[in-house]
Structures are given as C-alpha cells and as structure tokens.
Amino acid sequence: MTTDIHTHLGTDRNSLHEVDKHNLEEQVDFLISRMDHFGIEKAVLTPLNPFKDNELNLTASAIYPDRLFSACTLLPRPIDSAQERLQHYFDEGCVALVLDDRLYGTEDPAALILIREAVDLNIPVYIHNDVMTSGGLSFIDQASTMFPKGKFVILHMGGLFGFPQLIPLMSRQNIWLDISITLIRLVESSLRVFLDALAQDIGVRRLVFGSEHHSEYLDLRAALNMLDLNVETSRLIRAENAWVLLGLDFT
C-alpha cells in the first residue's frame, strides 16, 4: 500500500478552494474512496491557505484518524506568533510544516527560525516554490546545511525546470523530492536525462510519493512504471520514505 505525503481535498482541481466546513465530510469521503480505488493507504492533507486550511484539515483528518494526517502552513512573521501557532498545531496533530514562498522572503531569517522549531519538534519541512528562483535554491541550500538533522521535502520536485537545479544538493541525506505534478511531465520530457542522471549517481531513493490531488493517481502510477523500478526501490518511494519522514507507524 502507498502513502501519499502531499494531497489536497476537492472533488477536482478547480474546486480546491471551495472546500469548507459545510461540505468537508463529503469531500473527505470522496478522497477516501479514491484512495481505496488506487491502493493509497494513508495521506497527508497539505494546506493552501494559512488562514483557513490548517483548522479545516485537522478536522478532516479527525474523521479518518487512522488514514488521514494534516500538515500546517504558517506566515513566519510575526516570529513569536508563528512559533506559538506551530506548537499549537503540532499539539493538535500536525505532522509537517509547509513553507510556501508566496508567504515569506527567502532572505528573511524568520523562515529559518521557524524551520529550527520544526526540526526541534522532529517534523519535516515541506518547501513549496511556484518557480525555483536562485533565491529559492539558495534558501534550500542554506536551510539543509544549517539543520543537518532536518527533513526537507521539496514539493513538486522543485518544478520541471527547477528539478535540474536541485540535483547538486541531492547527495544530502536530509533532502527528499515529492514527485507530485513534475514526475508525470518529466518522464516524457527532454529533461528526463536529468532524472536518469540522478538515478545513475545516487539512485531514486530520495523520491517520495505525493500526488497533490487524487485526480493524479492514475498518471502517477503510469509515470512510476516508466522508471522501471525494482520491488525494493518502489516500496521506498511509495511508502517507506514517508514513514521515515513522518515518524509514523504505517505498518
């Protein structure tokens, strides 16, 4: 069975922002049905909106506590407030911190302070960049160097054009790549050569299964089949890497 480390609620991609307390139970049941259909045992609900989604996802995960977990996203400033809220969400069951580059500046030390709090709590840090800029790459480099015990998950593999820029960092043992969105595009792209180079140099053991949305499950399955994985490596990507990152008993 597979663990989906990064997904969102919503009947389809166009309805991600339409999930609310009135239709939450229906949306959660629909996600579970899709997970069942594609052999997804557990999933982490990843928030988009720091002002709404954290509480909503915690409520959603409580409906199926054995199958759904929640990450939280925060504005790093004000620093004291961000630290308090991270502790609050952790106490409520949050299993990962999401840092979205739309909510902070990559040169702002407040983001690194919040990462330190997440490392102390032993939860992974999901890093989302709409476009992998030089500033975003430098931030990942700095954070993963400053916090060697941290667990950093780069959502969407950094994007189709960001992924090649991340390859020099992938020998670090504290960086993983969430395969959502990008792997599907990458396997049939001319940029596939960079994926092949990664596989040759350090293997694909730093990849972790994430979908972003259940509508991607079928295409993700096809993309993974195109990698010609052996049983051991497939299990690492689909399940075991998530177990290590989240520190949860998925057995």
Question: Residue 143 falls within a domain, yes or no?
Answer: yes
Q: Report the candidate in 165, 109, 181 with the shortest Cα–Cα distance to residue 133.
A: 165
Residues 177 and 152 sit within 8 Å (Cβ to Cβ): no
Spatial separation of the C-alpha atoms in residues 219 and 221, rounded to whole Å: 5
Spatial separation of the C-alpha atoms in residues 57 and 63, rounded to whole Å: 10
* Average pLDDT of every residue of the chain: 94
Q: What confidence tens digit (pLDDT) does each residue in 122-155 have?
A: 999 999 998 999 999 999 999 999 999 999 999 9
Question: Residue 212 falls within a domain, yes or no?
Answer: yes
Spatial separation of the C-alpha atoms in residues 170 and 212, rounded to whole Å: 22
Give the domain CATH number at 89: 3.20.20.140
pLDDT of residue 162 exceeding 60: yes
In sequence order, the 6+-apart residues with CB closer than 8 A to the CB of 115 are: 97, 99, 125, 143, 146, 147, 150
pLDDT of residue 205 exceeding 90: no
Question: Residue 78 falls within a domain, yes or no?
Answer: yes
Spatial separation of the C-alpha atoms in residues 50 and 20, rounded to whole Å: 14
Domain that holds residue 198: 2-246
Domain count, the chain: 1
Q: What confidence tens digit (pLDDT) does each residue in 25-44 have?
A: 999 999 999 999 999 999 99
* pLDDT score of 124: 98
Per cent of the chain over pLDDT 90 is 84
* pLDDT score of 248: 67
* pLDDT score of 251: 54
Question: Residue 113 falls within a domain, yes or no?
Answer: yes
* Rounded average pLDDT over 44-64: 95
Question: Residue 251 falls within a domain, yes or no?
Answer: no
* pLDDT score of 29: 97
* pLDDT score of 16: 85
Question: Residue 167 falls within a domain, yes or no?
Answer: yes
Q: What confidence tens digit (pLDDT) does each residue in 236-249 have?
A: 999 999 999 998 66
Q: What confidence tens digit (pLDDT) does each residue in 80-122 have?
A: 999 999 999 999 999 999 999 999 999 999 999 999 999 999 9
